[in-house]
Structure 1
């Protein structure tokens, strides 16, 4: 066999096994809850819409996780169930001068595979924050939270299991927002809500 044919076979059969790509395209339900009748503007930044995580563990394949529009869908769905009315903008220039802005930020994405943990699960941790801004971008709040998801490796391809673990982490993030965001003192003060009873 000639050298070039051998090299081609290596590229075709070996390299695909060295890389895993996951594209997240999830939609998220609007939570059914008592809506706060206060107008807010959700600012979805270019960084949030294009977030991509790429990592090569010491033992294992190269992973690339594309979040695409899934982050925007997550925060729009959750906040639409919490506040009325909700306006979504993709540029700060499009926000009204007197708007109260909510800006989601994705800070970190971490994962563990069965090969890394010697376990049976693909696990995902995602760290977000919600920033609340007054007009002229004066920051009132920077609330950080971490979400978790996992999926068994049996019966799934590696990419499918990582995709499901990521989806569950994002649903966990949605639950964290619903349960925790409006308990923050600055949020309650901004929207005229009574303090949380201790």
Structure 2
């Protein structure tokens, strides 16, 4: 009757495993040990000494960087940079009038010497130098006035005279060395200093 009930409800009687399949070597395997091939997924190893070493290295590099920047800020250069000698700027020559300096005054304008005479008179009256000659220049179309000197030792005297003549330019050149004067004043159309008519 139990069999009829099971058949009616779609159930089947439980069968013993030993009766359904023939016995083989796997039936005697105990559950306490693994048999056969087993794949184990490798886990990445992160050990404490790698972590600690990384932290120490980061702290050391940060400290070196902070010290280097601090030293660079206080001294104006990085401590690891090689020492280089910087060339000192030449001392600036200060204007200094030399009353004994010989002066040639050349008029480079169309007045053909009139301005040169007035400038020469002003230099003599003020004691800014000794006039060696005054007259027209080889060219009558000079635009920029200047004081020329052929010897670097006369730079201070040239600067001093140029300042008194209204701040004209000064040049180290040998173009007017033939005049025999230490300083040569070349008058151009821009001249507006003492002695201009």
- Bigger CA radius of gyration: 2
Between structures 1 and 2, the one with greater strand share? 1
TM-score in terms of structure 2 length:
0.24
